[in-house]
Amino acid sequence: MDPRLKIIDKRLAGIKRIIAVSGGKGGIGKSLTASVLALTLSRLGHRVGLLDLDLSAPSLHVILGIEGIYPKEEKGIIPPEVHGVEFMSIVYFTGDKPSPLRGIDISNAMLELLAVTRWSSLDFLVVDTPPGIGDATMDVIRWMKRAEFLVMTTSSKVALETVKKVIKMLTELNVPIIGVIENMKMGDSEVVKEALKEVPILGEIDFDDKIEDLIGDVNKLLESDFAASVKEIALKI
Amino acid sequence: MHEWALAEAVIATVIEESRKEGLEEITKIKIKIGELQQIETEIFEFALNELTKAQGTSLLTKMKVEMDTERAIFRCRVCGNEWGFDDAGLSEDENEAIHFAPEVAHAYIRCPSCKSPDFEVLQGRGVSIESIKGRG
Ligand SMILES: Nc1ncnc2c1ncn2[C@@H]1O[C@H](COP(=O)(O)OP(=O)(O)OP(=O)(O)O)[C@@H](O)[C@H]1O
Ligand SMILES: [Mg+2]
Ligand SMILES: [Zn+2]
């Protein structure tokens, strides 16, 4: 019997809603959206946590512009508060070192992070996941049983083809899907709406050619068009 | 793994199991801990004690804890070489990182023979409660 499994439910018990940001393909804006969503929910007055579960390629700390912050040790690990959001990432322990993790290692690392992290009572825990239906996503479903999914895509045929499978799998497993977000929208194409009829389209985020320069600067990031679209979505969640 | 988190996890598990089994008093549990978890036995026992007291029930007051640490063995997926935790020669900071999140060993340990980071942990990771004994 693995005692860590028992403690996970207890660790997550004080969290009202767990929102996993997911999607079929890489590079479609999951991490940026997860970060801006967490910051926005916090600015709207909610208590918010943000968890980076992209264990081989964590990137939320870059988006949040965090350096030299380390969690406090107190009967476990207390995630530090960054820009009003409790933030947990494996990067605290790996720094800039690559950590090549294979399937079983990812599950084990995630189990440890979930078992050891002591969130305070939160309204939302936003969880960033790596692309597709891989280890992290399957473990979110297995261990964070109340997680609701925000599914991201672009209008690219390649992204759509894969996101359909993600949606099918979540549906098959009875995992709640809050809705789909279409990111990097250019023009008024309806392809996403047409391709994904069975799930609500929660919002659209236009391609924002200024966003890249704002990465790492939270205040400017929150003033962007990107953030304005995310706020509309946040209000619907 | 953090000792307090582990102790809390063990107690939560033992309590739930004792309910399932209808036990009134737990007399002994056996825990196996992987060396990679980097658990300090004294801190763990202290935490277990404190948390037991805080429970305020007689369920755990007689509980004896038997702990067995399983040596970590790594095997390189590239060249097949096997080695142990002590061979890794880690710094204090690296050890601390591994203590909090054992899997980050992959960031700090390399195969002593071919320098690959692609190794598997053959044994000596994770924690498990091997047995729970008590009276109904
Ligand atoms: N609406 C947008 N307009 C312009 N650039 C964007 C937009 N959304 C995201 N980006 C940029 O696209 C890149 C990838 O974003 P992000 O890292 O959030 O994607 P991801 O889906 O998390 O990728 P991965 O699957 O690799 O984790 C980033 O450089 C980000 O700034
Ligand atoms: Mg990402
Ligand atoms: Zn080797």
**Chain segment B3-12, per-residue pLDDT in tens:** 999 999 999 9
Q: Is B2-135 a CATH 3.40.50.300 domain?
A: no
Place of tokens 């933030």: A87
8 Å CB contact of B4 and A10: no
What dihedral angle (degrees, nearest 10) is formed by the CA atoms of B34, B35, B39, B44? 50
Helix, strand, coil % in chain B, rounded to nearest 5: 40, 30, 30
Average pLDDT on A97-110 reads 92
Average pLDDT on B43-64 reads 89
The single-letter code of the amino acid at B49 is N
Atom of ligand 1 nearest to the CA of A209: 4
Q: How far is ligand 3, taken at its centre, from the CA of residue B78, in Å?
A: 5
Q: How far is ligand 3, taken at its centre, from the CA of residue B90, in Å?
A: 17
Q: What is the mean pLDDT of chain B?
A: 93
Is A106 in contact with A135 (CB distance < 8 Å)?
A: yes
Q: Which residues of B touch A101 (CB under 8 A)?
A: 103, 106
Q: Which residues of B touch A97 (CB under 8 A)?
A: 107-108
Handedness of CA B98, B103, B108, B109 (dihedral sign): positive
A4 lies within 8 A of chain B by CB? yes
E-strand ranges in chain A read 15-23, 48-52, 72-73, 77-78, 81-82, 85-88, 122-128, 148-153, 177-185, 201-206
Q: What is the mean pLDDT of chain A?
A: 95
pLDDT number for residue A194:
85
Rounded to 10°, the helix B3-21/A3-12 angle is 100
Q: Please report which confidence band the pLDDT of residue B68 belongs to, taking 50, 70 and 90 as the band edges.
A: very high
Summarised one tens digit per residue, pLDDT across range A126-149 is: 999 999 999 999 999 999 999 999
Which residue, among A132, A144, A150, A131, has the nearest Cα to A199 in the 3D structure? A150
How far is A54 from A106, CA to CA, in rounded Å? 9
Summarised one tens digit per residue, pLDDT across range A183-214 is: 999 988 888 888 888 899 999 999 999 999 99
Which residue, among B3, B6, B8, B76, would best test binding to A if mutated, counting the most A CBs under 10 Å from its CB? B8
Where b means 16+ CB within 10 Å and e means fewer, A42-62 reads bbeebbbbbbbbbbbebbbbe
How far is A178 from B8, CA to CA, in rounded Å? 33
Q: Are strands B73-76 and B82-84 parallel, antiparallel or unpaired?
A: antiparallel
In angstroms, the separation between the Cα of residue B9 and the nearest Cα of chain A is 5
Residues pairing with A68 in the sheet: none
Q: What percent of chain B has pLDDT over 90?
A: 82
pLDDT number for residue B55:
83
pLDDT number for residue B86:
92
In angstroms, the separation between the Cα of residue B36 and the nearest Cα of chain A is 12
- On the question of pLDDT at B1 being above 80, the answer is no
Q: Please report which confidence band the pLDDT of residue A7 belongs to, taking 50, 70 and 90 as the band edges.
A: very high
How far is B117 from A90, CA to CA, in rounded Å? 17
Q: Residue ranges of the domains in chain A?
A: 4-234
State pTM to two decimals. 0.95
Handedness of CA A130, A134, A138, A143 (dihedral sign): negative
pLDDT number for residue A58:
96
Which residue, among A12, A67, A36, has the nearest Cα to A220 in the 3D structure? A36
Which residue, among B72, B73, B77, has the nearest Cα to B116 in the 3D structure? B77
- Sheet containing A177-185: give its strands across: A81-82, A85-88, A48-52, A122-128, A15-23, A148-153, A177-185, A201-206
Ligand 1 binding pocket includes A93 (Cβ within 6 Å): no
Summarised one tens digit per residue, pLDDT across range A69-83 is: 999 999 899 999 999
pLDDT number for residue A195:
85
8 Å CB contact of B102 and A112: yes
Kindly give, in sequence order, each residue whose CB lies less than 8 Å from that of residue A69, ignoring residues fewer than 6 positions away: A80, A82, A92
Q: Which residues of A touch B8 (CB under 8 A)?
A: 7, 10, 75-76
CATH class of A4-234: alpha beta
The single-letter code of the amino acid at B19 is R
Is A126 in contact with A49 (CB distance < 8 Å)?
A: yes
pLDDT number for residue A219:
97
In angstroms, the separation between the Cα of residue A148 and the nearest Cα of chain B is 25
Q: Residue ranges of the domains in chain B?
A: 2-135
Summarised one tens digit per residue, pLDDT across range A32-58 is: 999 999 999 999 999 999 999 999 999
